Amino acid sequence: MTSDEINVMGNLLNTTFGRSSTSASPTESITGSMDGDMIILKYVTIMTLYDRLSHRRLIENQCEVAKKMLNAKCKDLEKAFNKNCNTSIKIKEVNCSHFVDPVTFRPNGVPSQTIFRMTLHCEVKWKRKMHKYLKL
């Protein structure tokens, strides 16, 4: 990865809170970082959980929403990077995990605020175009 490509990807991942990460929804945030050829995307939102019977269903629904948003972010990154660098990359998921962290503890039946986090680790696959003078 060249320094120009690193700068482009860094600018695309620059979604600090209050900037483009929250433009679609002020209650959700997607941030990203790089570690070598790995991209780490993090989704965060606050959920309200009502009772133990509905917790699992609500968390599963939030997992689906978060995964769709993170996959859409990967596609957007691919498209923008390929356009800006005149190259071709593919972002492939390596690992995905989620975590639910209660903010408040309340008795059954009383809503409780919970932070939902999903982390997506992706590998960048490079498909560099060879110039005609490099071909054998």
- Report whether pLDDT(73) > 70: yes
Architecture per CATH, domain 3-126, reads as 2-Layer Sandwich (3.30)
Domain ranges of the chain: 3-126
What is the chain's Cα-based Rg? 19
Per-residue pLDDT, 50: 78
- Report whether pLDDT(126) > 60: yes
pLDDT over 90 percentage in the chain: 32
Per-residue pLDDT, 53: 74
- 113 against 72, higher pLDDT: 72
pLDDT single digits (tens) 96-124: 999 998 777 766 656 788 899 999 999 98
pTM of this prediction exceeds 0.85: no
What is the maximal distance between C-alpha atoms in the chain? 71
Q: Compute the half-sphere exposure of residue 19: CA atoms within 13 Å on the CB side of its CA.
A: 10
Torsion of CA 35, 18, 21, 102, to 10 degrees: 80
Per-residue pLDDT, 44: 93
| Confidence tier at 21 by pLDDT (50, 70, 90) | very low
Q: Is 86 exposed, middle or buried (0-12, 13-18, 19+ CB in 10 A)?
A: exposed
